[in-house]
Amino acid sequence: MSVLRVTVANRKNATYEVEASRPLLETLREQGIDLPYGCKYGGCITCAAKLTAGQVEQKRQVALNNRQLAEGYVILCVARPMTDITLEIGVESHDRLYRNPFLDRLQPHELKADIATPKDE
Partner 1 sequence: MQCCGPGYASPEEAMRAPCEKLLYTVAIYTGTGIQKPDYLCTIDADPESATYSRVLHRLEMPGIGDELHHMGWNACSSCHGDAAMRRSHLLVPGVRSSNIHIIDTAADPSAPRLHKVIQGSEIKSKTNLSAPHTVHCLGSEIIVSMLGDARGEAPGGYLHLDRNFDIVGRWENSMGEIPFSYDFWYQPRHNIMASSEWAAPNTFMPGFDLEEVGHLKYGRRIHLWDFRKRKPQQTFYLGEDGLIPLEVRFHHNPDSSHGFCGAALSANIIHWWKDPDDEWKWEKIIDVENEPHPEWPIPVPGVISVILISMDDRFLYFCNWLHGDIRQYNIENPHRPVLTGQVWMGGLLGRAPEVNGIRVTGGPQMIQLSLDGKRLYVTTSLFSTWDNQFYPEIRTNGGCMLMVNCNTQTGGMEIDSDFAVDFGREPNGPSRCHETRYPGGDCTSDIWV
Nearer to partner 1, 44 or 82 (CB): 44
Q: Give the largest CA-CA distance in the chain.
A: 47
Strands (E), 1-121: 3-8, 14-19, 48-53, 56-57, 73-75, 80-81, 85-88
Which residue, 31 or 83, has its beta carbon nearer to partner 1? 31
Q: Which is nearer to partner 1, 1 or 103 (CB)?
A: 103
Residues 3-22 that bind partner 1 (CB under 8 A): none
| Binding of partner 1 by 105 (CB under 8 A) | yes
Among 2, 12, 34, 120, binds partner 1 (CB under 8 A): 34
For residues 105 and 119, what is the distance between their CA atoms, to the nearest angstrom? 15
d(CA 19, CA 62): 23
Q: Residue numbers of the site for partner 1 (CB under 8 A)?
A: 34, 36-41, 43-46, 62-65, 90-92, 94, 97-103, 105-106, 108, 111-112, 115
